[in-house]
Amino acid sequence: MKKTIVVLLLFGFAICAFKEIRGIYFRYPSYWPKPIYNFNKNQLTTEKTFLGRVLFYDPILSKDSNISCASCHSQHTAFSQINHSYSKGINHQIGKRNAPALINLAWNSSFMWDGAVNNLEMQALAPMSNPTEMNETIGHVADKMKHTTIYPKLFYKAFGDSAINGERVLKCITQFMLSLVSCHSKYDSVMEKQAKFTQQEERGYLLFKKNCSSCHKEPLFTNDKFENDGLPINKTLNDVGRMLITHDSANYLQFRVPTLRNIQISYPYMHDGRFSNLVQVLNHYTKGIVRSNSLAKPLLKPILLTNNDKKNLIAFLSTLSDTTFITEKQYSFPVFVN
Ligand code: HEC
Ligand code: HEC
């Protein structure tokens, strides 16, 4: 597996990869807020972003060289993992949470369902060192890379010398993650007055603004906060969310509000992937809310939706799908670059 990938990568580079990357830049619609990430500490360049992309797809990052970041975050599902409720890592070990979609991360102030990480560079380190995910150390990964023919060259292109170390690896993976901007949905075209919602989508949009947008705030569809949205605790996992980090009972069952961009393609849903479709999600909001002291205020009042309302709401949510994002070559496995 490892050998094949290296050969494929070499083949890809030789043909066209470097040219293709010239197009990478960080762009977002003018009506969006400014990103939170401080680009001064890690300025994006095409070479570093490209190196990050190669790393993202390379199982060299895991102990048995079988698992890459893309094993759990695959592009065609907006960089989430759809075939497992809980993510599956090294030696087929199953994790405890659903792998979230990786979208518009430059606007997040914290990461993971419970906000365990507040720095994107450190985020890449977490799965690498997690014994059930990639079970590797960054130092050992850097050593493995030194013994390849390709990586010294790539680091030379990106940094002006071929030194390979953990910090550089993390910076480049971060650059690739920052480049994952999803802003070409129908919703965006409508906001930019280049398209119109259908009547059904428009009705769904009104329902969304009434019931959902206080947490799933436009235009990123998250308020970047932790909330308890009334899900009953998963008794097998006993995952109390944000409280695991803060040890404060006010944070009991609070999870990071996920973006709803590309939501139709990034099932299953919730931190434990308990719902497989959007109807189940809406049924939760209308009749599944469990009250506890930490339940978010907007959910204290019941959400009432008829079956027709649900259809309209789902029609609106499907306008958040971005086919450019999930097919964009700049994000894909480097061998398919031309
Ligand atoms: C074995 C599956 C697996 C692998 C491999 C994996 N991840 Fe993840 N990733 C997850 C899971 C599960 C979560 C959520 C964990 C949590 O909330 O506790 C996650 C969360 C994240 C997040 C946070 C997203 C957010 O919105 O909060 C980022 C960023 C991320 N991963 C990037 C990476 C990168 C980069 C790699 C490779 C170095 C990687 N992942 C490898 C499963 C995986
Ligand atoms: C009080 C804040 C709040 C409100 C209001 C709210 N949500 Fe959520 N939503 C959340 C949180 C928090 C999660 C993650 C919960 C978890 O995983 O445990 C979530 C998860 C979701 C998910 C799953 C996302 C994923 O990637 O797995 C969908 C879909 C969703 N909400 C849709 C809606 C819709 C539609 C509405 C309106 C009917 C709504 N939400 C109202 C806070 C809220």
Given a contact cutoff of 8 angstroms between Cβ atoms, the answer to whether 268 and 274 are in contact is yes
The answer on 316 and 212 residing in a single domain is: yes
Give the pLDDT confidence score for residue 335 in this predicted structure. Answer: 65
pLDDT bin (cut points 50, 70, 90) of residue 201 is: very high
The answer on 159 and 199 residing in a single domain is: no
Give the pLDDT confidence score for residue 22 in this predicted structure. Answer: 41
- Model pLDDT for residues 92-104, shown as the tens digit of each residue: 666 788 999 999 9
Point out the ligand 2 atom lying closest to the alpha carbon of residue 214. Answer: 5
pLDDT bin (cut points 50, 70, 90) of residue 310 is: very high
Is residue 79 over pLDDT 60? Answer: yes
Residue 236 domain boundaries: 186-321
Which residue puts its alpha carbon closest to atom 19 of ligand 1?
Answer: 99
72, 118, 240: residue to mutate for ligand 1 pocket, most atoms within 8 A of CB: 72
Q: Tell me the CATH number at 237.
A: 1.10.760.10
Q: What is the CA radius of gyration of the chain?
A: 21
Identity (one letter) of the amino acid at 328? E
Provide mean pLDDT across the span 74-101: 78
Give the pLDDT confidence score for residue 244 in this predicted structure. Answer: 94
Domain for residue 201, yes or no? Answer: yes
Sign for the pseudo-dihedral over CA of 197, 199, 201, 207: positive
Give the pLDDT confidence score for residue 14 in this predicted structure. Answer: 35
Provide mean pLDDT across the span 118-131: 87
Q: Which ligand is nearest to the CA of 62?
A: 1
Give the pLDDT confidence score for residue 336 in this predicted structure. Answer: 33
Domain for residue 311, yes or no? Answer: yes
Point out the ligand 2 atom lying closest to the alpha carbon of residue 228. Answer: 12
Domain for residue 331, yes or no? Answer: no
Give the pLDDT confidence score for residue 87 in this predicted structure. Answer: 64
The answer on 42 and 56 residing in a single domain is: yes
Domain for residue 305, yes or no? Answer: yes
pLDDT bin (cut points 50, 70, 90) of residue 127 is: confident
The C-alpha angle with vertex 181 and arms to 329 and 114, in degrees rounded to 5, equals: 120
Q: How many distinct structural domains can be found in the chain?
A: 2
Q: Quick check: CB of 123 below 6 Å from ligand 1?
A: yes
Show which of 129, 159, 182 is a domain's final residue.
182
Give the pLDDT confidence score for residue 314 in this predicted structure. Answer: 98
- Model pLDDT for residues 295-304, shown as the tens digit of each residue: 999 999 999 9
Is residue 39 over pLDDT 60? Answer: yes
Residues with CB under 6 A from ligand 2: 211-212, 214-216, 227, 229, 231, 255, 257-258, 260, 263, 266, 269-271, 278, 281, 285, 296, 298-299, 303, 313
* Angle of helix 138-146 versus helix 120-129 axis, rounded to 10: 90
Domain for residue 327, yes or no? Answer: no
Q: Residue 164 region, left (φ>0) first, then alpha (ψ -120 to 50), else beta?
A: beta
Q: Which two tokens stand for residue 195?
A: 């398209």
pLDDT bin (cut points 50, 70, 90) of residue 132 is: confident
The answer on 217 and 125 residing in a single domain is: no
Residues in the chain: 338
* Rounded-to-integer distance, Cα 105 and Cα 113, Å: 13
The answer on 315 and 209 residing in a single domain is: yes
Given a contact cutoff of 8 angstroms between Cβ atoms, the answer to whether 324 and 184 are in contact is yes
Domain for residue 333, yes or no? Answer: no
Provide mean pLDDT across the span 218-224: 98
The answer on 104 and 54 residing in a single domain is: yes
Task: Give a three-class secondary structure readout of the chain.
Answer: CHHHHHHHHHHHHHHCHHHHHCCCCCCCCCCCCCCCCCHHHCCCCHHHHHHHHHHHHCHHHCCCCCCCHHHHCEHHHCCECCCCCCCECHHHCECCCCCCCCCCHHHCCCECCCCCECCHHHHHHHHHHCCCCCCCCHHHHHHHHHCCCHHHHHHHHHHCCCCCCHHHHHHHHHHHHHCCCCCCCHHHHHHCCCCCCCHHHHHHHHHHHHHCCCCCCCCCCCCCCEEECCCCCCCCCCCCECHHHHCCHHHCCEEECCCCCCHHHCCCECCCCCECCHHHHHHHHHHHCCCCCCECHHHCCCCCCCHHHHHHHHHHHHCCCCHHHHHCHHHCCHHHCC
Residue 259 CA to ligand 2 centre (angstroms) = 9
Q: Which ligand is nearest to the CA of 55?
A: 1
The C-alpha angle with vertex 118 and arms to 214 and 155, in degrees rounded to 5, equals: 125
The answer on 195 and 173 residing in a single domain is: no
Provide mean pLDDT across the span 140-167: 94
Given a contact cutoff of 8 angstroms between Cβ atoms, the answer to whether 175 and 41 are in contact is no
61, 66, 69, 243: residue to mutate for ligand 1 pocket, most atoms within 8 A of CB: 69
Specify the range with the lowest mean pLDDT, choosing from 44-48, 117-121, 131-135, 307-311. Answer: 131-135
Point out the ligand 1 atom lying closest to the alpha carbon of residue 125. Answer: 38
Is residue 142 over pLDDT 80? Answer: yes
The answer on 191 and 125 residing in a single domain is: no
Q: Which ligand is nearest to the CA of 123?
A: 1
Specify the range with the lowest mean pLDDT, choosing from 128-142, 156-170, 205-219, 301-315. Answer: 128-142
Specify the range with the lowest mean pLDDT, choosing from 85-89, 108-112, 148-152, 231-235. Answer: 85-89
Domain for residue 59, yes or no? Answer: yes
pLDDT bin (cut points 50, 70, 90) of residue 65 is: confident
pTM here is: 0.91
Give the pLDDT confidence score for residue 126 in this predicted structure. Answer: 87
Residue with tokens 């597996």: 1
Provide mean pLDDT across the span 279-306: 95
Residue 62 CA to ligand 2 centre (angstroms) = 32
Point out the ligand 2 atom lying closest to the alpha carbon of residue 273. Answer: 27
Give the pLDDT confidence score for residue 268 in this predicted structure. Answer: 94
State the chain's mean pLDDT as an integer: 88
The answer on 248 and 100 residing in a single domain is: no
Residue 234 CA to ligand 1 centre (angstroms) = 20
Point out the ligand 1 atom lying closest to the alpha carbon of residue 120. Answer: 29
The answer on 147 and 45 residing in a single domain is: yes
Show which of 125, 150, 182 is a domain's final residue.
182
The answer on 314 and 192 residing in a single domain is: yes
The answer on 307 and 267 residing in a single domain is: yes
Which residue puts its alpha carbon closest to atom 35 of ligand 1?
Answer: 124
Show which of 182, 212, 243 is a domain's final residue.
182
Given a contact cutoff of 8 angstroms between Cβ atoms, the answer to whether 250 and 242 are in contact is no
Give the pLDDT confidence score for residue 12 in this predicted structure. Answer: 38
Point out the ligand 1 atom lying closest to the alpha carbon of residue 97. Answer: 12
Give the pLDDT confidence score for residue 197 in this predicted structure. Answer: 98
82, 110, 229, 282: residue to mutate for ligand 2 pocket, most atoms within 8 A of CB: 229
Give the pLDDT confidence score for residue 4 in this predicted structure. Answer: 45
Provide mean pLDDT across the span 229-245: 94
Given a contact cutoff of 8 angstroms between Cβ atoms, the answer to whether 241 and 251 are in contact is yes
Domain for residue 330, yes or no? Answer: no
* Rounded-to-integer distance, Cα 149 and Cα 165, Å: 16
